[in-house]
């Protein structure tokens, strides 16, 4: 079942997502979280940090798995998702670094995929946080991806490279490949929260809400998941009519 929460702004989006995460941790202190990077979850991470500081939500027993990492960037690279997670979340909460998992995009990629797949099987994800790509990707599962895919190396779409150039000095610096959880890994999460925050994603969100389930827009597969919550900004619904 999919539920849709429409929010006024990114702060409210972050608050709602952090509340869902906080409630899960209260109920299940040793839960497994699937995490995303990029601009979308930043406000969620800020609210998680606030909850940790003010309400003492403890991450002591929590395990995390990130969706993806760029191929070729080391953990120290300021554009790597390792660096992003450490600076935007992990350094500010009491999570054990040994309980955090992000695929390594540097070497032995087939072995890394296999080990990550195995780790995911051993630690089923309770709650997966997702952002949405303008082309409908989730994780880095680009259009055309096999819905049965597990952790794999993927060539990034031209649009993804263009969209992510904003984080790099120039388009030339954006890695062309990434290692990503597959659609099957994402769909195995017990519950999913998808955050949609900007106008360039309206088309993909409309396809997700109303179009056919089709790997041209990988996010449409989420319609087959039993527990998905979409949190989206109100301004994105100006030109979308929801058919009941």
Residues binding ligand F6R (CB under 6 A): 36-40, 67-68, 131-133, 137-140
Three-state DSSP class for residue 199:
helix
Distance of CA 87 to the CA centre of its chain: 17
- Ramachandran region, residue 7 (left: φ > 0; alpha: ψ -120 to 50; beta: rest): beta
- Which of the following is catalytic: 51, 142, 163, 185? 142
Nearer to ligand F6R, 42 or 58 (CB): 42
Q: Smallest distance from the beta carbon of 243 to ligand F6R, in angstroms?
A: 26
Q: How far is the CB of 109 from ligand F6R (least distance, A)?
A: 17
| Residue 137 is among the residues annotated as catalytic for this protein | yes
Instruction: Check if 135 is active-site.
Output: yes
How far apart CA 154 and CA 177 sit, in angstroms, is: 6
Residue whose CB is nearest to ligand F6R in the complex, by number: 131
Dihedral angle sign, alpha carbons of residues 155, 173, 14, 125: positive
SS3 label, residue 63? strand
Residue 8 among the catalytic residues: no
Cα–Cα distance, 94 to 51 (Å, whole number): 12
Nearer Cβ to ligand F6R, position 14 or 139? 139
- Given 47, 137, 152, 225, which residue is catalytic? 137
Q: Choosing from 66, 82, 99, 135, which is the catalytic residue?
A: 135
Active site residue 141: no
Report the catalytic residues: 68, 135, 137, 142
């Amino acid at each position: 079942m999919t539920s849709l929460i429409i929010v006024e702004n990114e702060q409210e989006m972050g608050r709602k997502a952090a509340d869902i995460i906080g409630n899960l941790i209260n109920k299940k202190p040793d839960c497994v979280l699937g995490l995303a990077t990029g601009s979308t979850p930043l406000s969620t991470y800020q609210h998680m940090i606030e909850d940790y500081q003010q309400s003492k939500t403890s991450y002591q027993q929590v395990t995390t798995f990130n969706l993806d990492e760029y191929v070729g960037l080391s953990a120290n690279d300021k554009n790597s998702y390792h660096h992003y997670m450490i600076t935007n979340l992990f350094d500010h909460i009491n999570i054990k670094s040994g309980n955090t998992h992000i695929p390594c995009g540097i070497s032995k990629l087939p072995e890394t995929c296999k080990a990550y797949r195995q780790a995911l099987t051993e630690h089923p994800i309770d709650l997966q946080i997702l952002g949405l790509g303008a082309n409908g990707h989730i994780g880095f599962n680009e259009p055309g991806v096999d819905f049965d895919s597990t952790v794999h190396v993927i060539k990034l779409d031209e649009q993804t490279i263009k969209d992510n150039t904003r984080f790099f000095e120039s388009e030339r610096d954006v890695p062309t490949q990434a290692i990503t959880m597959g659609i099957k890994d994402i769909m195995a999460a017990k519950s999913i929260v998808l955050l949609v925050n900007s106008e360039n994603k309206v088309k993909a969100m409309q396809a997700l809400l109303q179009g056919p389930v089709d790997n041209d827009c990988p996010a449409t597969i989420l319609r087959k998941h039993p527990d998905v919550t979409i949190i989206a900004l109100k301004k994105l619904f100006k030109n979308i009519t929801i058919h009941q």
